[in-house]
């Protein structure tokens, strides 16, 4: 039996030294008012793991931890007014930088890489999701006349399905507007839906040595060039593989180079999907499979909305919202690291529910994740004889 709670063992995966360096860089403990950045981080991670709904519940829940808070590295649990103050005033880039520091550390300790594709290029998935908000409370998150919302523009690394770029805006900016700010690594391939058709951006990525696979809009005009031969005995869902050039007088100057057009038939939805790419050496089937892999980012958005506290927030300022979003990303990073280290084949939602119900149970975390349904050891000092109540004597 372990004398430390599961939540305290989960917090031991965090790198306190890395956080202290970032605290010095950002000056985050200058006006701490008794709540250090570490205490703030632990409290917000407890909010994510427990999925509590209010400041009062989070603070009281942390106070109710079995035993003291010393294994968490916390001297005392914050009160709700102090937590609210820190969410409003402690700058959110601290938590963003800490997420990337932890991702760099944990990615080297666990095997996140997926082996579905035999290509050396880094696969990046680009999309956004919208979270509705009450406009009267979040007046900075304007979307429509009587509706508030924020957009999370996310660039997801296919290996591990963890974000490498997240930007929060109100609900108004178009997806392609945010994509203009992205600079991709050389030889990386970004996969996106047709909302990201912006030919100046695509041409910039092309000149920088990056690749893209994007669904083509029906309104785009082009002229067809040489058609590549299709294999006769396999990949029958590939309908067209050809070179094209933009033909409209307004769009051609924005992308004055050849493109590759691949048309794929989707039997599940009974539809054809037109894709464009600047990668000319991969097979047409690889291009189609890359676009199919884009569904992983939809799964990612589903996970953070259903498993973590990201649809409602503990504060109403943009800073408080961003702190909660980045602590949700840190929580997801920890969960995927624990899932990768466990020998039991967990579904992420089941593992989250299992941990949430046992946060303050004192049991070995590694053993619990690897052997979750093993029967417990019998207590010592008993002979384990069951009395038969229906056995009558003579």
pLDDT, one tens digit for every residue, the chain (394 residues)? 578 889 999 999 999 999 999 999 999 988 777 789 999 999 999 999 999 889 999 999 888 875 678 888 888 889 999 999 999 999 999 999 999 999 988 877 766 666 677 888 899 999 999 999 998 899 899 888 888 999 999 999 998 889 999 999 988 888 888 899 888 888 899 999 999 999 999 999 999 999 999 999 999 999 999 988 888 777 888 999 999 999 998 999 999 999 999 999 988 888 999 999 999 999 999 999 999 999 999 999 999 999 999 988 999 999 999 999 999 999 999 999 999 888 888 999 999 999 998 898 888 898 888 888 776 566 565 555 555 655 555 5
What beta strand segments (E) does the chain contain? 123-133, 142-144, 147-157, 162-170, 189-192, 211-215, 222-227, 238-246, 259-266, 271-277
* Residue 115, pLDDT score: 63
Whole-angstrom CA distances from 177 to 31, 153, 201, 266, 363 are 37, 10, 9, 29, 49
370 neighbors 343 (Cβ within 8 angstroms): yes
CA pair distance 309, 386, nearest whole angstrom = 46
pTM reported for the whole predicted model: 0.89
Q: How many CB atoms lie within 10 A of CB 143?
A: 18
Taking the C-alpha atoms of residue 314 and residue 83, their distance in angstroms, rounded to an integer, is: 9
Nearest to 315 by CA among 82, 145, 142: 82
Residue 267: count of CB within 10 angstroms of its CB: 8
The DSSP bridge pattern shows strands 259-266 and 271-277 to be antiparallel
Q: Are 288 and 237 in contact (CB under 8 A)?
A: yes
Residue 107: per-residue pLDDT: 77
Q: What is the DSSP letter of 213?
A: E
Determine the pLDDT at residue 390: 58
pLDDT given for residue 44 in this prediction: 95
Q: CA 361, CA 154: separation in Å to the nearest integer?
A: 35
pLDDT on residue 113? 66
């Amino acid at each position: 039996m372990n004398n430390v709670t599961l939540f305290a063992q989960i917090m031991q995966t965090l790198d306190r030294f890395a956080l202290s360096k970032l605290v010095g860089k950002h000056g985050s403990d200058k006006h701490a008012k008794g709540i250090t950045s570490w205490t703030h981080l632990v409290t917000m991670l407890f909010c994510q793991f427990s999925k509590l709904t209010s400041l009062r519940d989070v603070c009281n829940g942390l106070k109710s931890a079995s035993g003291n808070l010393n294994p968490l590295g916390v001297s005392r649990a914050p009160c709700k007014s102090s937590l609210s103050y820190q969410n409003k005033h402690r700058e959110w880039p601290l938590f963003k930088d800490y997420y990337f520091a932890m991702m760099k550390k944990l990615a080297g300790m666990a095997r996140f890489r997926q082996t579905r594709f035999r290509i050396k290029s880094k696969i990046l998935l680009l999309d956004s999701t919208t979270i509705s908000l009450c406009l009267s409370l979040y007046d900075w998150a304007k979307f429509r006349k009587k509706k508030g919302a924020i957009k999370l523009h996310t660039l997801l690394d296919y290996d591990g399905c963890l974000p490498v770029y997240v930007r929060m805006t109100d609900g108004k900016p178009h997806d392609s507007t945010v994509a203009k700010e992205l600079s991709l690594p050389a030889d990386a391939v970004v996969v996106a839906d047709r909302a990201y058709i912006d030919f100046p951006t695509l041409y910039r990525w092309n000149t920088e040595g990056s690749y893209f696979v994007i669904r083509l809009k029906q309104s785009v005009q082009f002229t067809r060039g040489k058609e590549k031969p299709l294999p006769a005995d396999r990949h029958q869902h590939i309908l067209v593989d050809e070179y094209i050039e933009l033909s409209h007088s307004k769009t051609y100057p924005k992308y004055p180079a050849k493109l590759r057009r691949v048309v794929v038939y989707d039997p599940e939805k009974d539809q054809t999907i037109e894709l464009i790419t600047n990668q000319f050496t991969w097979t047409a089937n690889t291009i189609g499979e890359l676009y199919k892999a884009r569904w992983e980012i939809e799964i990612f958005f589903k996970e953070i909305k259903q498993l973590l506290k990201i649809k409602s927030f503990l504060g109403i300022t943009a800073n408080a919202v961003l702190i909660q979003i980045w602590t949700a990303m840190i929580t997801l990073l920890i969960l995927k690291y624990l899932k990768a280290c466990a020998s039991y084949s967990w579904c992420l939602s089941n593992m989250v529910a299992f941990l949430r119900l046992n946060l303050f149970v004192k049991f070995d975390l590694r053993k619990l994740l690897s052997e979750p349904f093993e029967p417990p050891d019998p207590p010592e000092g008993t002979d384990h004889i069951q009395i038969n109540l229906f056995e009558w004597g003579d």
